[in-house]
Amino acid sequence: MPAFNEDIFGYKRNPKPRGVFSTENSKLIFGGEQGTDVSSSDGDGLGYLVQNWNVSYTQQVQELFEIGSNALYWAKGRPAGQGTLGRVIGDQDVDSNNSGFFPRSAYDICDGGATMRLEARGGHCKGAPAEGGVVLDKGVKITMFGSVITSIGFSMQVADVRLMENFAWRFNAMKLESFGASSGINNG
């Protein structure tokens, strides 16, 4: 894709974007080992109204120093993860240990937690915007082992009177994979 000369502010850039993010073709699958399609374009997952999610996995590392020396040592801690998800309560009921958005075993720590799966791909156009451009269709598959719900909350604001349901969970191990359009979530 040829670049044009400088614009009036001195910026050099291509006249067309390399890729375009779009609200179309985004996808989110969330839940137990099989997962629930919560954003399906074919209508199967509509009504869950997921607004946001976040997952992090951290490893503790403690620095140790020796008196009278410049030597550095690390003490490796155990990894742990946490996640949050917020959704608007719409035509799907609030989640409980009977409804299935989260597996039953995620509510009872005595069951040892659940295996949770999250697959997501950001919105993108189906084709490249110009010759030499790319389709921004990459996604992520996250498997979380030993997941236990730690918090459920509800909120509403007068400005939009939407009833929000918010979840937090912890997990003890994570598997991570990336994918593009040729492997992973079907566009529908």
Decide if 139 contacts 178 (C-beta within 8 A): yes
* Average pLDDT value over all residues in the chain: 80
* CATH T-level topology, domain 27-179: Elongation Factor Tu (Ef-tu); domain 3 (2.40.30)
Q: What percent of the chain has pLDDT over 90?
A: 33
- The residue ranges of every structural domain in the chain are 27-179
Tokens standing for residue 23: 């609200």
Q: Tell me if the pTM is above 0.95.
A: no
Q: What percent of the chain has pLDDT over 70?
A: 80
Return the residue matching tokens 């403690």: 62
The predicted-structure confidence for 47-82, as pLDDT tens digits, reads as follows 678 888 999 999 999 999 999 999 999 999 999 999
